[in-house]
Amino acid sequence: MRYLTAGESHGPRLTAIIEGVPAGLPLTAEDINKDLKRRQGGYGRGGRMKIESDQVEITAGVRHGKTTGAPITLNVTNKDHQKWLEIMAVEDIEDRLKTKRKITHPRPGHADLVGGMKYRFDDLRNSLERSSARETTMRVAVGAVAKRILAELDIEIANHVVVFGGKEIDVPDGLTVDQIKELAQQSEISVVNQDREQEIKDYIDQIKKEGDTIGGVVETIVGGVPAGLGSFVQWDTKLDAKLAQAVVSINAFKGVEFGVGFQAGYRKGSEVMDEILWNEEEGYTRRTNNLGGFEGGMTNGQPVVVRGVMKPIPTLYKPLMSVDIETHEPYKATVERSDPTALPAAGVVMESVVATVMAQEILDKFSSDNLEELKAAVAAHRDYVKHF
C-alpha cells in the first residue's frame, strides 16, 4: 500500500491517492470524517478550526460501500479558499496582484526561509502553503482507511498525551488499548488521567494570555499486533525504523522512542530486557514490554508502544525577530495564524501515520488482493507463531 498527498493550505482542496488497499474492505466517508473531526478538536484550538469542518469525498476505488482494489481517491475541500482566489490562483495574474499578501518575512521555526532558499522563491507563501500542518488532514484521512484494515484483523490503536507542556501525566497501570482510547477521547486534552484535566486547561489558558505556545509528548499504542512484522535483514526493513521516520515526518515532531525509550540509557540490561514466557492459551508472551513490542526491528507480539515529542507551535502572537529577505532588515516575524497548543490534534495525526505504516507492513507480508484472503493469511500466521 502506498499513497501520495497534494494540495496547499489555502488552495481549493486537499487530495490523497491510496493504492494497494485490498478489495472488499467496508469503507464509507463517515469512517474517515470522524477522524477528521478529531483532528480539528482539542482544547486550545481556534482560528481555522472555526472556519473549516472537514468532510471527505471519495471519488474513486469504492463502490457500494466496499473497496474495489483499485486506487482510492480522497478529497477534502478548503472552505475558506473563496477568500484566497486571487492569491492562490493557478493562472498568471497582474503584477499588482502578485504583490498582494506576498510574504518576505520568514517566521522562525517554520519552513518559510529554507524553502525559499531551496526552491528560489521570492514569495515565501510558496513555502508556507505546502509545509503547513494543513497537509496532515490527508494523512489522517489515509490513516482512517488504514485503521479500517487493522480493525478487520482485530488490531486496535489509541493515542494519549503523556507530557503536556512539561507537565507529566500519570497513567494508571494495566489499562487496555480500548480503555486508553475511551478515556483519551472523553478528554478535551487527550489525557487518560481526568484528575489533571482542569489543571492542564488552566495552563493552556495562561500560555495563550502570554502569547506563547507549548508542545509535549504523545504516546500511541497498537494492540493485537502479530509477531514477525518487519525484518532484521536490512536497515530499511526494520519496522521500528519505518515508524520512527513516519512520526518524525509529522509537522513539529522532533523525536521518537519505543517502550522505555531514552530511559534505557539510564538502566541496567536486567532492568530493560523483556523475559520470554509461554503458555498453551496465549503462546509466547513477555513478562514486561520495556522494548515497546520490538526486538531486532520486528514485532514480538506485545503491544507496540511508540512516543513522539512535538515542539511548541512556532507561530507566536508575541512574535520573535526575523529578517526581511528583500531588504535584509530586522523585522518582527509575521503571525499567520496560531493556537497555544495543537497537541491533542497532533496525537490524532500520530495515531494515523502509525496505523498507516502498520497496515502497509501487514499488506506487504501477507497475501492481500482481497480482504478474505488477508484475514485468512493473518489468522494462519497467528496460529503458527502461537505453537512455534
314 has binding-site annotation: yes
The one-letter amino acid code at 301 reads: G
352 has binding-site annotation: no
252 has binding-site annotation: yes
- Calpha distance 125→323 (Å, rounded): 15
Averages of pLDDT over each 10 residues, the chain, 388 residues: 97 98 98 96 68 88 98 96 90 75 89 97 95 96 98 98 96 94 96 95 93 95 98 98 98 97 97 96 96 98 98 82 94 71 96 98 98 98 95
What are the C-alpha distances in Å from 285 to residues 227, 257, 289, 290? Answer: 10, 22, 9, 13
296 has binding-site annotation: yes
User: What tens digit of pLDDT does each residue of 268-307 get?
Assistant: 999 999 999 999 999 999 999 999 999 999 999 999 999 9
312 has binding-site annotation: yes
51 has binding-site annotation: no
How far from chain centre, in Å, is Cα 27?
20
- Calpha distance 115→126 (Å, rounded): 8
What are the C-alpha distances in Å from 331 to residues 110, 113, 232? Answer: 16, 14, 50
130 has binding-site annotation: yes
Structural contact between residues 267 and 254, judged by C-beta atoms closer than 8 angstroms: no
Question: Residue 197 has which C-alpha cell?
Answer: 484535566
Structural contact between residues 107 and 315, judged by C-beta atoms closer than 8 angstroms: yes
- What percentage of the chain's residues is helix, strand, coil (to nearest 5)? 40, 20, 40
Looking at residue 374, what is its pLDDT? 98
Question: Residue 116 has which C-alpha cell?
Answer: 525559499
- Per the document, the length of the chain is 388
Q: How many CB atoms lie within 10 A of CB 258?
A: 19
pTM for the complete prediction?
0.95
- Indicate the burial class of 184 (C-beta count within 10 angstroms; 0-12, 13-18, 19 or more): buried
Listed residue (244, 222, 234, 231) closest to 364, CA to CA: 231
Q: How many CB atoms lie within 10 A of CB 173?
A: 5
Residues 6+ away with beta carbon under 8 Å from 68: 23, 61, 62
Listed residue (283, 36, 258, 31) closest to 150, CA to CA: 31
289 has binding-site annotation: no
Structural contact between residues 118 and 131, judged by C-beta atoms closer than 8 angstroms: no
340 has binding-site annotation: no
Question: Residue 320 has which C-alpha cell?
Answer: 520573535
User: What tens digit of pLDDT does each residue of 221-274 get?
Assistant: 999 999 999 999 999 999 999 999 999 999 999 999 999 999 999 999 999 999
106 has binding-site annotation: no
Helices within the chain (DSSP H only): 29-39, 48-51, 95-98, 112-119, 125-131, 136-152, 177-186, 197-209, 239-248, 343-365, 371-386
How far from chain centre, in Å, is Cα 237?
21
What are the C-alpha distances in Å from 26 to residues 32, 293, 323? Answer: 12, 29, 52
Domains of the chain with CATH codes: 95-386 (3.60.150.10)
Looking at residue 334, what is its pLDDT? 61
How far from chain centre, in Å, is Cα 49?
17
